[in-house]
Amino acid sequence: MFDVVVIGGNLAGASAAIKAAERGVSVALIERHKKPFFPAHCGEAMPNTWTEFIDLDGIGCPKNEIKRIILNVSSPKEYSLKLKKYKALIFDRNFVENYLLKEAKKKGVELKLGIRMSGFNAPNDVILHNDKTIKGKIIIDASGISCQVGKHIGMDTKLLNKQIGVCIQSRVQGDFDNETLKIWFHKPYAPFGYAWFFPVDDKTANIGIGIPGGQKVDLSDLLKNYIKDVTGGNFKVTHNFRACVPLAPPMSRLYKDNIMFVGDAARLVNSEWGCGIGNALFSGSSAGITAARFIQGEISSLEPYQESMNSRIKILQRGYRHREKNENEKKYVKTYRRNYSLISSLNKIFPSFLQNYISKIVLNRIG
């Protein structure tokens, strides 16, 4: 029996496995894919404030630093935000995920890649698709939006259509301003969601759309139109992907008995932006440390993990309530235009104030 079994080798799962193994407990990580996606199924944007959880420079990860954000809200009118102290980074997530898996292996984690979990018998038995069973004293569910372990123990993991963020993205080649990130809210490209242009460098960009589910629209056509708009028609698509992220409120309790939930499995995603990279890294790391401390007898329960996440849960709950209040189309557009008009004006008049306060809020939402 392993001390810790992690289901999912994404950012949250790999972080959990590494932190637990660093403290000397035995860890197995089960991941249904043999290797991380390339390009990553992600916009790959994060604020530089999140580099405290992953040292991009220290691991040699390619990244692009953004110095300006342009926002549109259902109109050609632009709101511009110059970045100084706080910046957005477009990073190579595929590089990071490969690095984390290699690091996990170095720390002694037993990697089981290309192996899918097919069942779970509480409290300890993880059943694999090859009918083998792995036992774990602590189970960490990092299985993403499907929340596989939670489903098997009878938790209500079902999401409403509007609580599922439906995403489509293309990796595009062209000639780009690699210092400017662009986001278009709502129609005509992303009803009640947003379309993004995230430059990887001056020749490559991630261009995509994310909207709440349940809407009768053709995402492929919307994305084609947005790409033509943002590139001026001079582009070449090299890769495409579709994915889903949770837009539901976060779980209020992040563990049950010997099972812990991290990242998307715990719904730790900003429901206004559909972003959860920072919370995935943080929750995974915290869960791994807590699991190891519990195994080693330093603590008597998994409650310290819950306590470490409570402030983040409250922030995500407020974001969800804010999104629900703006489901009316007129209110949605009015709210976002008012907010970003204010941010743009403050950026021009009080740049220092904005950099020290508002930019941090905006960029943390992106991350």
Task: Examine the pLDDT at 366 and tell me if it is beyond 60.
Answer: no
The answer to whether residue 230 scores a pLDDT higher than 80 is yes
Largest CA distance in the chain: 64
Query: Cα(5)–Cα(210) distance, rounded to whole angstroms?
Result: 32
Topology classification of domain 2-40+93-159+249-324: FAD/NAD(P)-binding domain (3.50.50)
Hey, is 78 helix, strand or coil? Answer: strand
Q: Would you give the distance in Å from CA 351 to the centre of its chain?
A: 29
> What's the whole-number average pLDDT of the chain?
93
Here the tokens at position 238 are 């090299």
CB contact at 8 A, 186 and 336: yes
Bridge pairing between strands 68-73 and 180-186: parallel
Domain boundaries, the chain: 2-40+93-159+249-324, 45-91+161-247+326-366
Residue 347 scores a pLDDT above 80: no
Q: What's the CATH superfamily of 45-91+161-247+326-366?
A: D-Amino Acid Oxidase, subunit A, domain 2 (3.30.9.10)
Give the helix, strand, coil percentages of the chain, each rounded to 5.
40, 30, 35
Please say whether the dihedral angle defined by the alpha carbons of residues 326, 207, 230 and 219, taken in this order, is positive or negative.
Answer: negative
Residues 135/124, Cβ–Cβ less than 8 Å: yes
Q: In Å, what is the CA distance from 257 to each residue of 153, 212, 302, 303? A: 11, 32, 8, 10
Mean pLDDT of 53-69: 94
Question: 351: exposed, middle or buried (C-beta count within 10 Å: 0-12, 13-18, 19+)?
Answer: middle
pLDDT at 236: 97
Dihedral sign, Cα of residue 351, residue 356, residue 360, residue 363: positive
Report how far residue 31's alpha carbon sits from residue 5's, in angstroms, rounded to the nearest whole number: 11
* Residue 330 confidence (pLDDT): 87
- CA gap 361, 69 in Å, rounded: 14
Q: What is the pLDDT of residue 358?
A: 58
- Please give the average per-residue pLDDT across 130-142, as a whole number: 96
CB of 142 closer than 8 Å to CB of 13: yes
Cα 279 to Cα 267: distance, rounded to the nearest angstrom:
10
Two tokens at 118? 């097919």
Contact between residue 248 and residue 320 where contact means Cβ atoms under 8 Å apart: yes
What letter does residue 213 receive in the DSSP assignment? S
Spatial separation of the C-alpha atoms in residues 117 and 148, rounded to whole Å = 8
Q: How does pLDDT run across 253-287, given as a tens digit for each residue?
A: 999 999 999 999 999 999 888 889 999 999 999 99
Least confidently predicted of 110-119, 264-273, 323-332: 323-332
| Cβ proximity of 168 and 221 under 8 Å | no
- SS3 of 24, please? coil
Q: Which residues contact 285 (CB under 8 A, 6 or more apart)?
A: 15, 16, 18, 19, 53
Q: How far is CA 144 from CA 59, 111, 212, 250, in A?
A: 25, 18, 17, 13
| Stretch 325-338: mean pLDDT | 85
Between 331 and 154, the more confident residue is 154
pLDDT band at 235 (very low <50, low <70, confident <90, very high): very high
Instruction: Name the amino acid, one letter, at 213.
Output: G
Best mean pLDDT range from 16-20, 50-54, 326-330, 339-343:
16-20
Question: Is the pLDDT reported for residue 186 higher than 70?
Answer: yes
